[in-house]
Amino acid sequence: MPLTWLLQHSSASFSHVRCYAHTLNLASQRALKLPSVSRLLGRVRRIATFFHRSAIANHQLKEKQKQLNLPSHKLKSDVITRWNSAYEMLERFLEQQPAVCAALLSQEVRKGAAEIFTLTESDISCSEDVITALKPMKDATLLMSEESSPTACLIAPLHAKLIQDMKENTEEKSVMIREIKRVICEDLSKRYTTDQETSLLNKCASLDPRFKALPFLSKEKREETYKTVITEASSLQEQEVHGNLEDSTVKEANISVSPQPEVTELQDDCPTTSKGRASSLLHNLLGKTFFDASDTPYHQSPSALVEEEMTRYCSTPPLPLTEDPSTGGMSTRCHFLCSPKWQRDIYAFQQPVCLQRGSSPLQVIL
């Protein structure tokens, strides 16, 4: 059954969050379309294509790699649909730049080539600047493309950090780095700006033990996010308690209409059976007056119980970023909200569902 059909016809409530890896791609593509960056990519692309097509040049490149003790890596070419391929093309060129220059200067290559493309010292410096400016975007793209891990909780802290890093720094000497960061910052600042999106993403981050401190938010926003989580958790807890009470009422009704076993002479020899029957009778007589203590844990209201759990949850140290909150580290080292139903909803809250073929996950938060 197609997932799109399920989303359209399901009675459940779904909140849609745009794929953040795609958002990063759009912002990075804007930076790559800057005239100075585009010209640089064109020059590097021509050199990579030349070595791919010329067997003599490729052979000379391998020889120079051996002489210079460089890794035997081929030059890469970029693909228009993947922005990080342009980053990888520049990164590989800088790695092999000494061998590339030596191969282009060799007599064998010059004799068989009609035209030789080379880069100036300024081009090399600009390539290094592009790599420096786009490194955070590359790391964020790889992180968001890990389909085995929930990613919705990563969006809010990652988005705030990238915008902070990309804000124009007047102390930055490189004009190219400043221009790249300015363009990316402008594009990212237009994403996830509605109250519904920001509230949802902040809640996701607060429910992840690694990011629950919410250092990227102001004090007012943090308190507002915690209050929203408590309100929604209290609502779920009340529904669970109400459901338990209804189940208890059904059980009582079933017990009251069930036929009583006939009393035989063997009952005197079976005190356990007599005790069980007495307990059942007591429940029938007083069950509606005295609720089972297990139905009202700690005699606390759902709201008070959730607030207590939330306070305990926030008071523990955040989970290290190197640990996965979906594994045992979360349950053994961090207090979590009390309701099993709420815990299941939290996992669904953070779990991405892939709707976009051939790309990173498109998050759909339940």
Establish if 277 belongs to a structural domain.
Answer: no
User: Once rounded to an integer, what is the mean pLDDT over residues 289-318?
Assistant: 66
Q: Could you read off the pLDDT of 307-365 as tens digits, one per residue?
A: 777 788 888 888 787 777 766 544 444 455 544 555 555 544 444 433 333 443 333 33
pLDDT attached to residue 327: 63
pLDDT attached to residue 28: 93
Give the residue, 9 or 300, on which the prediction is more confident: 300
Instruction: Say what percent of the chain tops pLDDT 70.
Output: 65
Establish if 304 belongs to a structural domain.
Answer: no
Establish if 92 belongs to a structural domain.
Answer: yes
pLDDT attached to residue 42: 92
pLDDT attached to residue 280: 59
User: Once rounded to an integer, what is the mean pLDDT over residues 203-219?
Assistant: 89
How confident is residue 90, by pLDDT bands cut at 50, 70 and 90? very high
User: Once rounded to an integer, what is the mean pLDDT over residues 235-259?
Assistant: 62
Establish if 58 belongs to a structural domain.
Answer: yes
Instruction: Report the distance separating Cα 131 and Cα 142, nearest Å.
Output: 15
Establish if 283 belongs to a structural domain.
Answer: no
Establish if 109 belongs to a structural domain.
Answer: yes
Establish if 57 belongs to a structural domain.
Answer: yes
Evaluate if residue 274 carries a pLDDT over 90: no
Establish if 255 belongs to a structural domain.
Answer: no
pLDDT attached to residue 267: 46
- Please count the structural domains in the chain: 1
* Domain assignment of residue 34, given as a range: 13-206
